[in-house]
């Protein structure tokens, strides 16, 4: 972040309490957000719920002078996939209030002046209300996801959610989005999903509804990526949906991409030197070194998604049939129902793998992979972090979504940004080898893929400008937020 030169813009009377949902992705996004304000003299306290900050992120906080406040004790059952239940997380509300009260009463401490609460932590609104300070929502995903999220209470009121299975293909109008398939909305509102059974009421009433009471929103996106959606969010009269009937000022601050620093450093280096580089190292990188430029399709489904053995087997056969080079990442946790009596990878596949493909069964350094000149495409589950990272490195996408915001992200990438080719699912969600091969060839080897590549290249230029220029849209968002805080406190 460029240091501000203008003393006028200094905000050393601002104390921001940032409260992430306790999962790595959320912690990272929240810390990257907080860091944008440090050069302005803003004091930041970060809530470390259930002591879940990883050592590397704790280190960032220490070196950057972000105060870490430990809240709550991790419950015995940490929740599905180690994602804490929202009800458990809610239990730290009292401790959070105590923390704010302590800052307010201490003689040598700066009272908290605003709360930046995770989009999934609706109760942070109650804390802010109790102390009469504004809560700003941090949306770890894109503007389009926020648009759908804020409209959820209305859809619930109209009986449109929960979505019954036969209604999945029906379209629904959501301000800020093109007509949207009901089945593409979050699994939390799909009546057929287990998630809906347990989380529907929490999702709509404890997360979406309180978000409507917030003073404003930080979005993990940049204006140039979703201009029409952000414009609409800014002009849409959400006060009609606010249970209190009041009409607070609602501001939207796109401050992304809130990705690892290295992605942004590389963008800056490109601006400065017109180059990028990759350190040599792991075997998968050495294998990439031997492949021609833009020839390899990188396949990775992020940190949470898992596929059946049968689907991974089929995917492998599809990659083989596509005749494209590939780097396939399948970690043990990527495989579900491992008792299926089928080898994970086909025999033929193993035999020729070393020539045209590489299978990696552990975590890779995605930055290194996406930055490697041999990588020409990324088959992704459309997780928002992976998507932003790919845009920062100018790599076009093959979109294969599974859950959460991924279906909406896929529609955005394919239909609006036109930076992805879609992998089409058949009946019951299974993807055939023929479809994998078709989509891989279309992106990597056919003229249709050229337009997609060109669009990603243009988007990368836009993100460079948004992030790296002193008057870029991201810096403006940060300063607009500080100016708004000053005005609202007068």
Q: Which residues of this chain interact with ligand UDX, rule CB under 6 A?
A: 25, 141, 300, 302-305, 329, 363-366, 383-386, 389, 404-406
Closest separation in Å from C-beta 412 to ligand UDX: 12
Q: Which is nearer to ligand UDX, 308 or 365 (CB)?
A: 365
Q: Is residue 118 within 8 Å of residue 30, measured between CB atoms? A: yes
Closest separation in Å from C-beta 423 to ligand UDX: 16
The residue sitting closest to ligand UDX, measured at its beta carbon, is 383
Output DSSP code: residue 179.
Answer: S
Closest of 123, 125, 106 to residue 114, by C-alpha: 125
Closest separation in Å from C-beta 484 to ligand UDX: 27
Closest separation in Å from C-beta 380 to ligand UDX: 7
Closest of 223, 154, 163, 218 to residue 187, by C-alpha: 163
Burial class (CB in 10 A: 0-12, 13-18, 19+), 55: exposed
Closest separation in Å from C-beta 117 to ligand UDX: 17
Q: Which two tokens mark 166?
A: 């036969």
Closest separation in Å from C-beta 470 to ligand UDX: 27
**CA 299 to CA 311: how far, in whole Å?**
14
Q: Which is nearer to ligand UDX, 80 or 292 (CB)?
A: 80
Closest of 20, 15, 10 to residue 65, by C-alpha: 15
**CA 361 to CA 181: how far, in whole Å?**
35
Q: Which is nearer to ligand UDX, 4 or 25 (CB)?
A: 25
Q: Which is nearer to ligand UDX, 276 or 365 (CB)?
A: 365
**CA 111 to CA 414: how far, in whole Å?**
46
**CA 441 to CA 443: how far, in whole Å?**
5
Q: Which is nearer to ligand UDX, 14 or 456 (CB)?
A: 456
Q: Which is nearer to ligand UDX, 375 or 482 (CB)?
A: 375
**CA 412 to CA 178: how far, in whole Å?**
9
DSSP H helices, 323-365, are 347-356
**CA 255 to CA 120: how far, in whole Å?**
18
Closest separation in Å from C-beta 463 to ligand UDX: 16
Q: Which is nearer to ligand UDX, 142 or 441 (CB)?
A: 142
């Amino acid at each position: 972040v460029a240091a501000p030169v203008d003393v006028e813009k200094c905000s050393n009377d601002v104390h921001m309490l940032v409260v992430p949902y306790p999962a790595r992705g959320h912690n990272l996004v929240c810390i990257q957000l907080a860091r944008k304000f440090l050069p302005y003299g803003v004091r930041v306290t970060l809530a470390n719920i259930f002591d879940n900050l990883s050592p590397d992120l704790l280190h960032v906080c220490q070196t950057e002078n972000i105060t870490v406040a430990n809240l709550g004790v991790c419950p015995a059952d940490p929740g599905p996939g180690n994602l804490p239940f929202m009800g458990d997380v809610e239990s730290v509300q009292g401790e959070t209030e105590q923390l704010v009260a302590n800052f307010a009463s201490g003689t040598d401490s700066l009272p908290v002046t605003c709360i930046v609460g995770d989009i999934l932590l609706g109760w942070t609104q109650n804390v802010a209300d109790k102390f009469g300070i504004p809560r700003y929502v941090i949306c770890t995903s894109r503007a389009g996801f926020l648009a759908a999220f804020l409209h959820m209470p209305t859809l619930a009121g109209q009986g449109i959610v929960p979505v019954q299975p036969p209604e999945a293909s029906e379209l629904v109008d959501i301000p800020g989005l093109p007509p949207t398939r009901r089945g593409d909305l979050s699994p939390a509102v799909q009546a057929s999903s287990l998630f809906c059974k347990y989380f529907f009421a929490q999702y709509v009433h404890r997360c979406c509804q309180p978000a409507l009471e917030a003073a404003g929103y930080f979005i993990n996106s940049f204006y140039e990526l979703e201009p029409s959606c952000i414009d609409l969010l800014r002009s849409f009269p959400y006060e009609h949906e606010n249970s209190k009937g009041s009409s607070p000022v609602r501001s939207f601050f796109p401050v992304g991409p809130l990705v690892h620093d290295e992605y942004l450093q590389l963008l800056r280096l490109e601006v400065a030197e017109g180059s990028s580089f990759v350190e040599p190292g792991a075997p998968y990188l050495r294998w990439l070194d031997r492949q021609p430029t833009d020839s390899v399709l990188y396949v990775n489904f992020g940190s949470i998604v898992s596929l059946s053995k049968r689907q991974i087997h089929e995917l492998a056969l599809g990659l083989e049939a596509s005749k494209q080079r590939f780097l396939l990442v399948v970690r043990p946790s990527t495989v579900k129902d491992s008792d299926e009596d089928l080898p994970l990878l086909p025999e033929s596949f193993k035999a020729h793998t070393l020539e045209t493909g590489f299978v990696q069964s552990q975590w890779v350094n995605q930055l290194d992979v996406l930055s490697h000149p041999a990588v020409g495409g990324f088959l992704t589950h459309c997780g928002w972090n992976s998507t932003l990272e790919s845009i920062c490195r100018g790599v076009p996408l093959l979109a294969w979504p599974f859950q959460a915001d991924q279906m909406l992200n896929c529609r955005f990438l394919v239909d609006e940004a036109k930076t992805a080719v879609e992998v089409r699912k058949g009946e019951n969600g299974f993807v055939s080898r023929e479809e994998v091969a078709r989509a891989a060839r279309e992106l990597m080897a056919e003229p249709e893929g050229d337009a997609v590549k060109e669009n990603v290249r243009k988007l990368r230029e836009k993100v460079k400008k948004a992030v790296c220029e002193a008057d870029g849209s991201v810096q403006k968002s940060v300063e607009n937020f500080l100016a708004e805080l000053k005005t609202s406190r007068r």
